[in-house]
């Protein structure tokens, strides 16, 4: 009798525990400090974006959100750290495109698989523009004509093999059926210095960096790689309207989480970022960096990653680009 009563009691307790268990197990999000990992040094564009997000999310959530800079190995150290983090939403990655859509094609081995990250949202983007030395051609048509008349002689700079600049120019050269000479540099600054000094003929770069130089007459912007003309450059045509349908190249910055992060947490972060991207102060800060606030749903972010991966993977494979 006692045994039967004990079994009934244990069963009842089990039912109660099952009913209340999830409530005790599920903590509100966020429940502790959240780290936004940036795989580049302080002061970089992606770092500044991370700090705008961290400040705004801290105020919105009433919980601390900080930026943690983990630079090195072309962004792979920080990206790898987030890939191994607990999938609880308290360690996230703010990243430019390369680490998420091209590195797995460019590098034979990586400490992570970028396709396993959970897309949260694209925070902001900035279009690329084609700039040339100030004493060179004055139109995209003349640029192409010169390249065809001088195959392999028209030089273009990049931030390095496999960089966005390199891949964008590779795509453009293929679409325009021209042969250009690649001169890779270690970063944007030395490449732009040689473009300004006239040692290099051309370079694709983001409009935020190129626009002040164009306005100062130190370089000349021939065309933009956006789908529409830029408000800051209303007289400069897009590459698409110059005869290259669908040509588009932008640098974008996204927020992602480790794989297996629960959907409710991912959606909560997406909703929070969507809300702060509507705040006038946040939009002003991003626009001061020549960035266009983006946003969108998690599904849209995943689709965008898929499309970007397809475009640039094809460019890499067709041009046999490989990082040693």
What pLDDT is attached to residue 26?
Answer: 58
The closest alpha carbon to 68, from 83, 79, 59, 57, belongs to: 79
Same domain, 120 and 135: no
Answer yes or no: are the C-beta atoms of 202 and 156 closer than 8 Å. yes
Torsion, Cα 46 246 226 295, to 10 degrees, reads: -50
In a domain, 25, yes or no: no
Same domain, 39 and 181: no
What span, in angstroms and rounded, lies between the C-alpha atoms of 302 and 76? 21
Answer yes or no: are the C-beta atoms of 240 and 112 closer than 8 Å. no
| Below-50 pLDDT ranges, the chain | 1-25
Bridge partner residues of 205 (DSSP): 129
Same domain, 183 and 218: yes
In a domain, 233, yes or no: no
In a domain, 180, yes or no: yes
Same domain, 134 and 219: yes
What pLDDT is attached to residue 324?
Answer: 60
The CATH number given to whatever domain includes residue 103 is 3.40.190.150
Domain span including residue 115: 34-126+251-318
What span, in angstroms and rounded, lies between the C-alpha atoms of 153 and 165? 18
Q: Domain ends where: 206, 224, 242?
A: 224
In a domain, 162, yes or no: yes
What span, in angstroms and rounded, lies between the C-alpha atoms of 102 and 114? 9
* Tens-digit pLDDT profile for residues 248-300: 999 999 999 999 999 999 999 999 999 999 999 999 999 988 899 999 999 99
What span, in angstroms and rounded, lies between the C-alpha atoms of 135 and 126? 26
SS3 235: coil
Same domain, 105 and 142: no
Q: Which two tokens stand for residue 227?
A: 């789908």
Taken as a whole, the chain contains a residue count of 324
Same domain, 217 and 135: yes
The CATH number given to whatever domain includes residue 196 is 3.40.190.10
* Tens-digit pLDDT profile for residues 175-217: 999 999 999 998 888 999 999 999 999 999 999 889 999 999 9
Count of the separate structural domains present in the chain: 2
What pLDDT is attached to residue 130?
Answer: 98
What pLDDT is attached to residue 188?
Answer: 86
């Amino acid at each position: 009798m006692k045994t039967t009563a004990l079994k009934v009691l244990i069963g009842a307790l089990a039912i109660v525990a099952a009913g209340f268990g999830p409530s005790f197990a599920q903590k509100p999000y966020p429940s502790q400090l959240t780290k936004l990992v940036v795989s580049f040094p302080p002061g970089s564009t992606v770092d500044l974006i991370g700090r705008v997000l961290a400040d705004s999310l801290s105020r919105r959530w009433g919980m601390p959100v900080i930026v943690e800079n983990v630079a090195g190995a072309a962004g792979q150290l920080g990206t790898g750290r987030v890939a191994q983090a607990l999938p609880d939403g308290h360690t996230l990655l703010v990243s430019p495109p390369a680490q998420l859509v091209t590195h797995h094609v460019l590098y034979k081995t990586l400490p992570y698989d970028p396709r396993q990250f959970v897309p949260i949202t694209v925070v902001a983007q900035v279009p690329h523009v084609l700039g040339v030395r100030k004493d060179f051609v004055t139109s995209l048509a003349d640029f192409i004509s010169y390249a065809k008349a001088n195959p392999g002689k028209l030089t273009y700079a990049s931030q390095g093999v496999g960089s966005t600049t390199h891949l964008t120019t590779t795509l453009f050269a293929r679409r325009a059926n021209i042969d250009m000479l690649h001169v890779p540099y270690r970063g944007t600054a030395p490449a732009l210095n040689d473009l300004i000094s006239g040692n290099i003929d051309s370079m694709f770069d983001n409009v935020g960096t190129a626009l002040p130089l164009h306005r100062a007459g130190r370089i000349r912007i021939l065309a933009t790689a956006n789908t529409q003309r830029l408000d800051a450059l209303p007289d400069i045509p897009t590459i698409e309207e110059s005869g290259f349908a669908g040509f588009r190249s932008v640098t974008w910055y996204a927020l992602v989480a480790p794989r297996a992060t629960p959907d409710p947490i991912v959606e909560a972060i997406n909703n929070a970022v969507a809300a702060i991207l509507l705040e006038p102060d946040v939009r002003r800060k991003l626009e001061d960096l020549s960035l266009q606030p983006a946003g969108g749903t998690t599904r849209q972010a995943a689709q965008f990653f898929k499309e970007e991966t397809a475009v640039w993977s094809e460019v890499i494979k067709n041009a046999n680009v490989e990082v040693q």
